[in-house]
Amino acid sequence: MPPREGIYGLIAEFNTPSELVHATQQARSAGYRRMECYTPYPVEEAAEALHFHKNRVPLLCLLGGVMGVTTAYLMETWINVWAYPLNIAGRPLFSWPAFIIPAYEWTILFAGLSAAFGMIALNGLPQLYHPVFNAPNFRNGATTDKFFLCLEATDPKFSLTETRTFLEQFPAVSVVEVDH
Amino acid sequence: MALISDRTSMGPISRAPIVAPGHTPSTVTDQISAVVLAKTPRWWFPAFAVAFAMLNVFLISVGYLFLKGIGIWGINTPVMWGWDIVNFVWWVGIGHAGTLISAVLLLLRQQWRTSINRFAEAMTIFAVVCAGTFPLIHVGRPWLAYWLFPYPNTMNVWPQFRSPLAWDVFAVSTYATISIVFWYIGMVPDFGTMRDRAQLPFAKWAYGLLSLGWRGSTRHWIRYETASLLLAGLSTPLVLSVHTVISFDFAVAALAGWHTTIFPPYFVAGAVYSGFAMVITLAIPIRKFYHLEDLVTLRHLDNMAKVMLATGSIVGYGYGMEVFMSWYSASHWEFFMMWNRMFGPMGWAYWILIATNLAIPLTTLWSRKLRVNVTYLFILSFIINTGMWFERFVIVVTSLYRDYLPSSWGTYRATKWDYMIYVGTMGLFTTLFLLFVRFLPMIPMSEVRMMLPQTKVRPIGPDSESAIEETV
């Protein structure tokens, strides 16, 4: 848990994604680790600069799909063979080809819901409060056309004065403190 | 700006841009969010009043239906599926273009889809709402419609999974769920933008809740992009399966005119055909009334017209194959069914279908001039959707009313309640759509920003000069 007293970090605002990515790369090579970029649209190069590669959304999606197909197929088999066997024009009770269709739909249903809600959960959303919203300029630009780099105070290398000097060497529009 | 977006006729090398030049991330955000945040435009109120009146026609006629039962419709003993199933198939088909635009074109990296995908997805959801109504009210006792789902009950009765009607429940409910989730997930970052730009406290609060606290963190964006891509990848086989399953409702039955293997591909192509026509019906007034010609350019209309030309041709092939197979099968009943469909008492419906679905669109859409003629496309979109409605009418009714046994032949005539419910669902659709354009961002802002040239990352550093030159 980050300490509640003190500040959350320092946030620098940039006009272009290129400046943001450059600053992030420099911060990384200067030894900063606890940091995050905030952009109005996905910037893959920023994720590269943060060395963020651990994305478990596809795994969740796969697990959901496997769960969907198994659930649906076993359910159909159990219902039509054991729970409620009906003779429909002499067709076998275990009509496996016919069972594929609902199983196919539930594969997609479970996989899609797992991907969507898994993404939300991995992102820690919904989280209506976050310290970066306290930066006075954040909400004017972060969801429109400005690019932010936040170096967090929990980073061992963080020091209010040195980090500020470090961020001010880049062509940032502003560098401000973020309160909790 | 508007002039440059007219450059559709210049061929593939100097194509008109997807977003008219001169735009920056902040201008597109301003323009799109202003649609929702500014005052309601004056035309919206009369439009809403008409739509809402039609919605009330729907509520009244469905209320009467619940009181009296489905005997108030024109369905009778040989023709047990009437307008309700025709309308069901028609509405689901319309929905398919939305998924096609949002999923298939995303996977194919067709960037032009971006500006139209949000309202095409909204169209999908509202069309599925209208479609879903029909099987529910058709079951006769709609308050027991939950019996369709497999759930443990005291009657110890379970669904029968060899029936296409049971498959239908799974296909349509999955389609509705995944479409809503995909649509909502797509809007989350835009809700963040709306939250940050709204002035009214209630709007801030509502968009804030809907945005789930979205803050544009890079780690979030990467997972978000993965999830969107996965949903697109899942929606693609889904959309193909939904109309396939609906065509099984017919194709699995042993009835001349229904029992044919060409139905799945031909239903899916027809669905996309009518769906794109509906997107055009909606896009043309919206871009005009909200002055979005810079974002929904003539290139979009041109591309959509091309998709209609392609899918319309597949549908035409389907019609041809049906005629051929009824002859080639050497089956007396198949042969009679096709003769009756063309020249029987309801032959007029078949010829309306051929004229509106094939003759008019497939001769004119080859012309680039007509494909970028907004008025013509608008009229044509109505013609095509009339044709697609008649296609379902021809399949459902003219196959049923004269089947194998002449002693059981009958006829079919829709009653005023059939008309009222059909018109009513259009009211339901339009009402939902007008509420959508008023309160939700109808063009995905984050995706449009991404398409602008200035949003590309260029390396900065000691060797940046050479790197920039390479990219230029």
A139-155 pLDDT, tens digit per residue, is 888 888 889 999 888 88
Query: What is the tens place of the pLDDT at every residue in B405-451?
Result: 889 899 999 999 999 999 999 999 999 999 998 898 888 888 888 87
CB spacing of B457 vs A43 below 8 angstroms: yes
pLDDT above 80: residue B15: no
* Segments forming the whole domain that contains residue A133: 7-54+129-179
Higher per-residue pLDDT: B290 or B432:
B432
Query: What is the tens place of the pLDDT at every residue in B61-83?
Result: 999 999 999 899 999 888 989 89
Residue A28 resides in a domain: yes
The arithmetic mean of pLDDT across residues B56-62, rounded, is 94
pLDDT of residue B142: 87
Angle among Cα B86, B90, B265 to the nearest 5 degrees reads 105
pLDDT of residue B103: 84
Give the gap in angstroms from C-alpha B225 to the nearest C-alpha of chain A. Answer: 8
Backbone phi, psi, residue A36, to 5°: -150, 145
pLDDT band at B178 (very low <50, low <70, confident <90, very high): very high
How does the average pLDDT of chain A come out, rounded? Answer: 88
pLDDT of residue B270: 92
CB spacing of B241 vs A111 below 8 angstroms: no
Q: Name A175's bridge partners.
A: A12
Which of A100, A122, A144 lies at the terminal end of a domain, its last residue?
A122
pLDDT above 90: residue B356: yes
CB spacing of A42 vs B214 below 8 angstroms: no
Do A144 and A98 share a structural domain? Answer: no
Do A110 and A62 share a structural domain? Answer: yes
Query: What is the tens place of the pLDDT at every residue in B19-52?
Result: 777 778 888 888 888 888 888 888 899 999 999 9
Q: Which of A161-170, B204-213, B346-355, B413-422 has the lowest mean pLDDT?
A: A161-170
With beta carbons under 8 A apart, name residues in chain B contacting A15.
none
Query: What is the tens place of the pLDDT at every residue in A50-66?
Result: 888 888 999 999 999 99
Residue A141 resides in a domain: yes
For residue B212, give both structure tokens. Answer: 């789930």
- Size of chain A, expressed as the number of residues it contains: 180
pLDDT band at B460 (very low <50, low <70, confident <90, very high): low
Residue B432 resides in a domain: yes
Nearest CA in chain A to B210: A126
Residue B19 resides in a domain: no
Question: Is B257's Cβ below 8 Å from some Cβ in A?
Answer: no
Residue A168 resides in a domain: yes
Which of A53, A79, A86, A123 to substitute to test the interface with B, most B CBs within 10 Å? A123
CB spacing of B166 vs A144 below 8 angstroms: no
pLDDT of residue B17: 63
Residue B99 resides in a domain: yes
Q: Which of B8-22, B42-56, B114-128 has the lowest mean pLDDT?
A: B8-22
Do A35 and A61 share a structural domain? Answer: no
Residue B462 resides in a domain: no
With beta carbons under 8 A apart, name residues in chain A contacting B446.
40-42
- Reference A7, options A149, A169, A132; nearest CA is A132
Residue B390 resides in a domain: yes
Q: What DSSP letter does each residue of B154-213 carry, written as one string?
A: TT-----TTSHHHHHHHHHHHHHHHHHHHHHHHHHHHHHHHHHH--SHHHHHHHHHHTTT
CB spacing of A43 vs B221 below 8 angstroms: yes
Residue A1 resides in a domain: no
For chain B, the domain total comes to: 1
pLDDT above 90: residue A30: no
pLDDT of residue B13: 44
Do A149 and A170 share a structural domain? Answer: yes
- Reference B43, options B294, B312, B286, B355; nearest CA is B286
- Reference B30, options A43, A138, A145, A146; nearest CA is A145
CB spacing of A22 vs B160 below 8 angstroms: no
Nearest CA in chain A to B444: A41
pLDDT above 80: residue B466: no
CB spacing of B216 vs A50 below 8 angstroms: no
pLDDT of residue B315: 94
For residue A21, give both structure tokens. Answer: 């990515």
% of chain B surpassing 90 pLDDT: 52
- The pTM of the full predicted model, rounded to 2 decimals, is 0.88
Residue A73 resides in a domain: yes
- Reference B292, options B8, B10, B23; nearest CA is B23
Do A113 and A62 share a structural domain? Answer: yes
With beta carbons under 8 A apart, name residues in chain B contacting A122.
223
- Rounded CA-CA distance A102/B167 in Å is 6
pLDDT of residue B428: 95
* Segments forming the whole domain that contains residue B239: 41-454
Residue A2 resides in a domain: no
Residue A151 CB-density burial (10 A; 0-12 exposed, 13-18 middle, 19+ buried): buried
CB spacing of A44 vs B222 below 8 angstroms: yes
Residue A132: which of B174, B177, B215 has the nearest Cβ? B215
- Reference A133, options B216, B36, B445, B194; nearest CA is B216
Higher per-residue pLDDT: B461 or B81:
B81
Residue B448 resides in a domain: yes
Do A118 and A65 share a structural domain? Answer: yes
Residue B217: helix, strand or coil by DSSP? strand
Nearest CA in chain B to A87: B160
pLDDT above 50: residue B464: no
pLDDT above 50: residue B12: no
Higher per-residue pLDDT: B355 or B105:
B355
Do A161 and A133 share a structural domain? Answer: yes
Give the gap in angstroms from C-alpha B193 to the nearest C-alpha of chain A. Answer: 5
pLDDT band at B2 (very low <50, low <70, confident <90, very high): very low
% of chain B surpassing 70 pLDDT: 93
- Rounded CA-CA distance B127/B180 in Å is 12
Residue ranges of B 322-351 with Cβ closer than 8 A to chain A: none
For chain A, the domain total comes to: 2
- Size of chain B, expressed as the number of residues it contains: 472
Name the strands in the sheet holding A35-38, side by side, starting at the edge strand that comes first in the sequence.
A35-38, A147-152, A7-14, A174-179
3-class secondary structure per residue, chain A: CCCCCCEEEEEEEECCHHHHHHHHHHHHHCCCCCEEEECCCCCHHHHHHCCCCCCCHHHHHHHHHHHHHHHHHHHHHHHHHHHCCCCCCCCCCCCHHHHHHHHHHHHHHHHHHHHHHHHHHHCCCCCCCCHHHHCCCHHHHCCCCCEEEEEECCCCCCCHHHHHHHHHCCCCCEEEEEEC
Residue ranges of B 292-311 with Cβ closer than 8 A to chain A: none
Which of B187, B209, B223, B246 to substitute to test the interface with A, most A CBs within 10 Å? B223
- Reference B19, options B28, B8, B7; nearest CA is B28
Query: What is the tens place of the pLDDT at every residue in A75-84?
Result: 999 999 999 9
How does the average pLDDT of chain B come out, rounded? Answer: 87
- Peptide bond connecting A126 to the previous residue in cis, omega within 30 degrees of 0: yes
Q: What is the CATH number of the domain that holds B231?
A: 1.20.1630.10
Residue B1 resides in a domain: no
Residue B252 resides in a domain: yes
pLDDT of residue B48: 95
Residue ranges of A 59-98 with Cβ closer than 8 A to chain B: 61, 72, 75-76, 79-80, 83-84, 86, 88, 91, 95, 98
Query: What is the tens place of the pLDDT at every residue in B327-339?
Result: 999 989 999 999 9
CB spacing of A139 vs B196 below 8 angstroms: yes
Asked if the interface predicted TM-score (ipTM) of this complex is over 0.95, the answer is: no
Q: Find the distance separating the first CA and the last CA of chain B, reported in whole Å.
A: 24
Backbone phi, psi, residue B301, to 5°: -65, -40
Give the gap in angstroms from C-alpha A5 to the nearest C-alpha of chain B. Answer: 23
Residue B270 belongs to what H/E stretch? helix B263-289
Exposure class string for B388-409: b at 16+ Cβ within 10 A, else e = bbbbbbbbbbbbbbbbeeeeee
The arithmetic mean of pLDDT across residues A25-45, rounded, is 88
pLDDT of residue A135: 86
- Rounded CA-CA distance B268/B270 in Å is 5
Angle among Cα B44, B47, B51 to the nearest 5 degrees reads 130
